[in-house]
Amino acid sequence: MSNPTTDFLKKVTAHMSSKEAKQSVEMELSTHVEQLTISYEKSGYSREEAERKAVEEMGNPHTLGKHMHELHKPKMDWVLLGLVGILLAVSLVQLYGAGIQFIGHPLHFLVSQLTWYVLAVPVFIFFLFISFHKLTRYWYVFYGLALSVFMYITLLPYPINGTIRYAAVGTLHINISPLMLFLFFLAATGLLHRIENYTKVKQFLTISLLFWPPFIIFSIIPDHMTGFIYLVTIIMLILFSRIPRKVSLTALSINGLLVIYPAILFFSSPHQMMRLQGFFAFRDSASGAGYMYIQLENLFNQAGWFGNGLLAEVNLFGLHTDFPFIYLVHSFGWLFGAVLCVILLSFVWKIWRIASQTKDSFGRLLVIGITCLFAVPIVWTLLMTLQLLPITSATLPFISYGGTAMIFYTSLLALALNVHRKKRIRFTYDNQPSL
């Protein structure tokens, strides 16, 4: 004998193409039918009569199925992609000018960056279509891979500019920091999503596990900006996770206090003291640590509303990597800079909107982290240009020159769009403790 609920669900999901959406809708509708059935049973109906009346109250299954198909059909965020397209076009323009400025050849940086664009396409497709909700179960794999990468660059260092964050692949020098940041981020998101069933002690230890090893690793390399981006991201993930607020605030407070001592030791070194003096009193050290700040101020003031043109001479080291924003402002003016700021901040806001609209708990946490990974370098770069924050090697997403950064941000973008395509689906997880 057929079951009314089962028959109803089959008719509804027959109109849906997505397997994941079918499972989500079946679970949701079966819950509604069961609640109605219990309500009718309390009114005196038998189980069979109550279930039949509950199914009838749900409405026409074919009409409901078509509506659910439209509601859960994967949709691309074309506005977000359009914003990225604009940023990529701006990047090519600034790389064209930077090639002439530094090398005397307009295609020098363009060809290299376009090669990375091509390599980023399969990465984008992969992360756009994977079942993102399955990433949470492999948190320990991502954490282990990040530690393995660190061991590799430690045992086989390839030092450049006093850091060991690079690996040599043939003639290429690949910055490994974005890869480690990506792996630690996936590990943290997956683990924090599974943490609600842990004891309070394990929750505290888990937060410390996510806090300290990456912090120490990025300090050893050293790559302080990447370490700062990770810390801001992990704090936001912890605050938006399902950890009890008292536990999360206690753990963050204790770990935060423990960071103060090494931070004081770091900033009290003669080199860092000189850099801080250059930031806070750059006019008093114009020929030393304040030189770069003077340069940024001069370039910004010279820009005017409409700029000096792309080929106007700019003597600033790292123009195409660390300072593309000031180069673009100097070339095209304050008005262009204001428009670019709006585009960059709109890009961050669009990603945050995906998080706020996502029903799935892991997908929402994933996109919150992705928002931070984009927002921190964007905001830092913009404020650094205005001499409101110290100069550091913060890359501007999709604009700065760099291959591994392009792959990193492409992966994050694809994951955010992946979640957006399934934002109305609520997945089920096995969140039993695995530590």
* Phi, psi angle pair for 166, to nearest 5°: -110, 150
Q: Indicate the average pLDDT of the chain.
A: 84
Q: pLDDT of 319-348, one tens digit each?
A: 888 889 999 999 999 999 999 999 999 999
What is the SS3 assignment for 166?
strand
Separation of alpha carbons 328 and 337, rounded Å? 7
Question: For the residues 407-418, what does the mean pLDDT come to?
Answer: 96
Task: Confirm if 72 and 424 have CB atoms less than 8 A apart.
Answer: yes
Separation of alpha carbons 298 and 101, rounded Å? 18
pLDDT at 433: 38
Separation of alpha carbons 345 and 339, rounded Å? 10
Q: Of how many residues is the chain composed? A: 435
Q: Is pLDDT above 70 for 393? A: yes
Lowest mean pLDDT among 208-217, 220-229, 283-292, 304-313: 283-292
Residues facing residue 173 across a β-bridge? 168
Separation of alpha carbons 327 and 322, rounded Å? 10
Q: pLDDT of 192-249, one tens digit each?
A: 988 877 888 888 888 888 888 998 898 888 888 898 999 999 999 999 988 888 888 8
Distance from the first to the final alpha carbon of the chain:
45
Q: How confident is the model at residue 298 (pLDDT cuts 50, 70, 90)?
A: confident
Q: What percentage of the chain exceeds 90 in pLDDT?
A: 36
Measured CA angle at 84 (ends 241, 189), to 5 deg: 15
Residues facing residue 168 across a β-bridge? 173
Higher pLDDT, 425 or 300: 300
Residue with tokens 């849906």: 16
Separation of alpha carbons 412 and 406, rounded Å? 10
Separation of alpha carbons 398 and 396, rounded Å? 6
Sign of the torsion angle spanned by Cα atoms 85, 87, 92, 93: positive
Which amino acid type is present at position 167? A
Query: Considering only CA atoms, which of 265, 253, 179 is closest in space to residue 217?
Result: 179
- HSE-up of residue 9 (Cα within 13 Å, Cβ side): 20
Q: How far is CA 133 from CA 146, 206, 423, in A?
A: 20, 21, 11
* 163 secondary structure, DSSP code: B
